[in-house]
Structure 1
Amino acid sequence: MHEQETDVIVIGGGTGGYSTALRAAALGLRVVLAERDLIGGTCLHRGCVPSKAMLHAAELVDGIAEARERWGVKATLDAVDWPALTATRDDIVARNHRGVEGHLAHAGVEVVRGSAAFTGPRTVRIAPDEKPHGEPYGKPYGEWTARRGVVVATGSRPRTLPGLAPDGRRVVTSDDALFAPGLPASVLVLGGGAIGVEYASLHRSMGARVVLVEAADRLLPLEDADVSRHLTRGLKKRGVEVLTGARLEVLTGARLEGAEPHEDGVRATVRTGRGDVHELDVERLLVAVGRAPVTDGLELAAAGLATDARGFLAPADWARLETAVPGIHAVGDVLPPPSLGLAHASFAEGLLVAETLAGGSPRPVDYNAVPRVTYASPQTASVGLSEAEARDRAGGDVTVGTMPLTAVAKGMVHGQGGMVKVVAERGDGGKGAGRVLGVHLVGPHVSEMIAESQLVVGWDAEPADVAQHIHPHPTLSEAVGEVYLTLAGRGLHQQS
């Protein structure tokens, strides 16, 4: 054990933590990063990367069925080799993990595998973890002092419900669902947010019977209502059973009344708002009811800090992501809304904090312009305000343009439905369209189409600004261009 000084101490090596460390080191600061698990965090090892690898495999499975049923390609699926599939997934994760570790080493970041806790506003004690997750990165344990500041980037863990104890086999969370043994024949997914929807889509593609239960009156309740409607339609078309719209006590939506694990699975009772009672017997119950910030063990009080009522570490200055204690910053999932708990948002937060600690004055993160994507089939992608939010903020003085993806040739080729929706301010004098407030997409590959909309919303562009730029034909993005043309009064395949 020893005492040592550094410029910046980062607690947590997930997306927010390692991005802070890399940028701070690039700006000439000495950085110590403490991580008690694996560099890359939940996103790399249990969430974003492995789940999207699995969803790609699911897309390939769906493609075999489409080839046979729609295109006359007489292909059949013999079986899914689960060990081979998971081996490919794990290889992708491992290569990304080595890449991040290599970047940190090349940047000169001193990574310590251990648990960190505050001993003062600028001092942190790093100790070997009681349950090590691998060989130590290094052994400079002891108390460290940060000359510039300390960054809390400790991430989040899945929330659970009373009486539902995950066992990694019959009752699982999003952290362990990918690593549960084998492919279940039936799954009850509890939670219709992005995580629940993605896992419901994945298991359905792999042939499971899937029941998706959401406590609100629609799936993706924080997204535009039309996004929810198109997504639900697409999932139901694929055979996912969707239960929403109930009201019980203080909850709106379908609610799990009870669940009883047994040797071969879980028996559950779900009650809907119409009074319907569904008795379900499934092999696996997947709890996806959100994530909670991780701050246990940090000894925040020693630094003069405390979490809010929900457990988040709220900034006193959002422009700097600095807490009420000067020099202590927070990034990633420990932040409350308007932070989004998304990996790409935490990258931006890490850059902001690193540049702030280096003495710069970076622009604050514009959370309204951060894209939100659900990688189900169909996919959803949004940025900016929903129609309801826009009408509320603008007193109803907005204009909306929509177009189904099946109205363009490439949408017909894919045959999966979907839509484009653009919400904009009403133009001067009540004519035309002003600043674009929100863009919402549903359909195949829309996760790859949303970046343009991020620029449109982030730069306060108007439909006329976008309409002068040409979208390629035939593509799905053509539908986006068509909506802007229509809103600008230059409709081509739509009437203005």
Structure 2
Amino acid sequence: MTMNTDLVVLGGGPGGYVAAIRAAQLGMQVVLVEKAKVGGICLHKGCIPTKSLLHSGETLRLMQSAATFGGIIEGKVGIDFAKIQARKATVVDQLYRGVQGLMKKNKITVLNGTGAVLGPSIFSPVSGTVSVTFDDKSKEDVMIVPKHVIIATGSSPKTLPSLPIDEKMILTSNGMLELTALPKKVAIIGGGVIGVEWASLLNDFGVDVTIVEFLDQLVINESQTIARELQKQLENRGIHIQLGAKVEQATIKNKQVALTIAEQSDPLIVDKVMVAIGRQPNVEGIGLQNTSIKYSAKGITHNAFYQTTEDHIYAIGDVIDTLQLAHVAMKEGIIAVEHMAGLPVAPLNYNDVPRCTYTDPEIASVGYTSSNYPQDRDVKIGRFNFNANAKAIILGDTAGFVEVLRDVITDDIIGVSIIGAHATDMIAEMSDAMYLDASATEIGDAVHPHPSLSEAIQEATLDTHKIAIHK
């Protein structure tokens, strides 16, 4: 069967389905091809289910600290992991049904199959026809001839030769989400965002966790001050952290995994190993070799509006070499669609994009950090600790701080880093401020509610001028 349309979107993750919706709003006829479920990895095997587990862990920890707030709990607070997993499934299902509803509302045709881009053929004189095949072999293959294509095929977990994934003993986050019982001891290979989030939630569930990180810092994209504070807080919770450690071999024996780590005489014995060393773009198996599109192991080459070297074909999200964040993919999808529609659109300034890590304590940042700002700029760094913030003291959660970077010449805010309670919500004020080009003086002058955690942002901003009130 052959069909014509304005736009084919390959991949129904956050970038793909948002692009499809925006295109439909602009009057385009849209076909979205997704081989699994609309919502993609983020909804079904990443962001959403992981954050549901993290919140369950936070709730358990709050219950365990009830006595601090005057509560009385008789006996020990237990864990029903089956109910935790069931709640996670309920959260995912509700959001999944919401996305499905949006597809219907916007009259987007969704094909649950595997799509591949074809080169010039009898269907079209240029590349871009999309062939869709189905697992159900009784279904006829579909050829879609579109005016434009958006490739949003996402990414997959990376691994190492010494860590062969079986999703039973040596797992990625995909396998971890399907656990039916909690292991006693887990080693997490990789101290990036995924690794530290899983360490945090497993620790809340009573699992003995060791993070093994090859580099000399956790969350390498954050400042050294943030990374040190995170390491301190995780270690205070009982999480073991090995930095500068290289895993050489993994041996499975007697339903356990022995990890051989360079320059360590004794292996690390655990029940499960989670590999969290990053993700790689899904550029294979989608027909790129049939086109003149340039791509590598890092992703598809594109311009500022996400056009590939074939300008009617765009690429967004994890399949290109930008920040691997759901909200980034969404914005890239909107920009790509508006550009192909001929609307005036500005390129995305990635320096204004907030980055979030949902550990306890949470981390959020935008712009430069105190470890990577341009050394040719005159920069003042302001800082305010949550242990001097009234709301944090009321919450009983005073770990962490806010760090603000101010350009002395322009008074521009060029970076903000937060580690502490609700950091991922608080960062929105400062990402908006940077997007709107607000000055440090303006943020410092703006009235913030009291008591609130946001006062720490105001104080840190004032501290860049050395006029913080409560410091």
Measure, in 1, the Cα distance between the counterparts of 2:151 and 2:234.
38
Measure, in 1, the Cα distance between the counterparts of 2:389 and 2:409.
27
1:262 is displaced (CA, Å) by 2.2
**DSSP 3-state at the match of 2:372:** helix
Q: Could you tell me which residue of structure 2 aligns to residue 419 of structure 1?
A: 401
Unaligned runs of 5+ in 1: 245-252, 429-433
Measure, in 1, the Cα distance between the counterparts of 2:87 and 2:143.
40
Q: Could you tell me which residue of structure 2 aligns to residue 313 of structure 1?
A: 300
Measure, in 1, the Cα distance between the counterparts of 2:268 and 2:180.
21
Measure, in 1, the Cα distance between the counterparts of 2:13 and 2:397.
38
Q: Could you tell me which residue of structure 2 aligns to residue 334 of structure 1?
A: 319
Q: Could you tell me which residue of structure 2 aligns to residue 283 of structure 1?
A: 271
Match of 1:447 among 398, 408, 424: 424
**DSSP 3-state at the match of 1:485:** helix
Q: 1:346-396 CA deviation, whole Å, 9 max, x = no partner?
A: 110111111112221212111111111110111100000112321xx2425
Match of 2:128 among 122, 126, 129: 122
Q: Could you tell me which residue of structure 1 aligns to residue 391 of structure 2?
A: 410
Q: Could you tell me which residue of structure 2 aligns to residue 38 of structure 1?
A: 37
- Does residue 102 of structure 2 align to residue 111 of structure 1? no
Equivalent positions of 1:339-418 (< 5 A) are 339-390=322-373, 393-395=374-376, 397-413=378-394, 414-418=396-400
Q: 1:250-280 CA deviation, whole Å, 9 max, x = no partner?
A: xxx2111221122322111224xxx555521
Q: 1:132-167 CA deviation, whole Å, 9 max, x = no partner?
A: 9xxx9xx684211112x1100000110011032222
Aligned residues: 462
Measure, in 2, the Cα distance between the counterparts of 1:323 and 1:388.
33
Measure, in 2, the Cα distance between the counterparts of 1:422 and 1:77.
42
Deviates more, 1:22-31 or 1:163-172: 163-172
Measure, in 2, the Cα distance between the counterparts of 1:140 and 1:10.
20
Q: Could you tell me which residue of structure 2 aligns to residue 184 of structure 1?
A: 183
**DSSP 3-state at the match of 2:156:** strand
AA aligned to 1:356 is: H
AA aligned to 2:275 is: V
Residues 377 and 407 in structure 2, CA contact (< 8 A), matched pair in contact too: no
**DSSP 3-state at the match of 1:180:** coil
Measure, in 1, the Cα distance between the counterparts of 2:9 and 2:250.
41
Measure, in 1, the Cα distance between the counterparts of 2:63 and 2:266.
32
Cα distance, 1:447–1:464 mapped onto 2, change above 3 Å: same
Q: Could you tell me which residue of structure 1 aligns to residue 440 of structure 2?
A: 463
Q: Could you tell me which residue of structure 2 aligns to residue 248 of structure 1?
A: none
Q: Could you tell me which residue of structure 2 aligns to residue 250 of structure 1?
A: none
Measure, in 1, the Cα distance between the counterparts of 2:81 and 2:47.
19
Equivalent positions of 1:23-422 (< 5 A) are 23-68=22-67, 70-75=68-73, 76-120=75-119, 121-129=127-135, 141-147=141-147, 149-244=148-243, 253-271=244-262, 275-277=263-265, 279-308=267-296, 310-315=297-302, 317-318=303-304, 320-336=305-321, 339-390=322-373, 393-395=374-376, 397-413=378-394, 414-422=396-404
Deviates more, 1:354-363 or 1:226-235: 354-363
Measure, in 1, the Cα distance between the counterparts of 2:210 and 2:344.
49
Equivalent positions of 1:426-441 (< 5 A) are 426-427=408-409, 434-441=411-418
Residues 31 and 110 in structure 2, CA contact (< 8 A), matched pair in contact too: yes
User: Identical aligned pairs, as a percentage?
Assistant: 35
Residues 382 and 403 in structure 2, CA contact (< 8 A), matched pair in contact too: yes
1:416 is displaced (CA, Å) by 4.0
Cα distance, 1:323–1:483 mapped onto 2, change above 3 Å: same
Deviates more, 1:299-308 or 1:475-484: 299-308
Deviates more, 1:374-383 or 1:452-461: 452-461
AA aligned to 1:33 is: L
Residues 382 and 462 in structure 2, CA contact (< 8 A), matched pair in contact too: no
Match of 1:477 among 435, 454, 459: 454
Residues 266 and 283 in structure 1, CA contact (< 8 A), matched pair in contact too: yes
Unaligned runs of 5+ in 2: 120-126
Measure, in 1, the Cα distance between the counterparts of 2:412 and 2:253.
56
Deviates more, 1:87-96 or 1:479-488: 479-488
Residues 383 and 463 in structure 2, CA contact (< 8 A), matched pair in contact too: no
AA aligned to 2:160 is: L
Measure, in 2, the Cα distance between the counterparts of 1:403 and 1:140.
62
Residues 32 and 109 in structure 2, CA contact (< 8 A), matched pair in contact too: yes
Residues 82 and 180 in structure 2, CA contact (< 8 A), matched pair in contact too: no
Measure, in 2, the Cα distance between the counterparts of 1:181 and 1:489.
53
Deviates more, 1:103-112 or 1:412-421: 412-421
Measure, in 1, the Cα distance between the counterparts of 2:208 and 2:117.
48
Residues 378 and 416 in structure 1, CA contact (< 8 A), matched pair in contact too: no
Q: Could you tell me which residue of structure 1 aligns to residue 122 of structure 2?
A: none
Residues 386 and 423 in structure 1, CA contact (< 8 A), matched pair in contact too: yes
TM-score normalised by length of structure 1: 0.90
Measure, in 1, the Cα distance between the counterparts of 2:350 and 2:377.
22
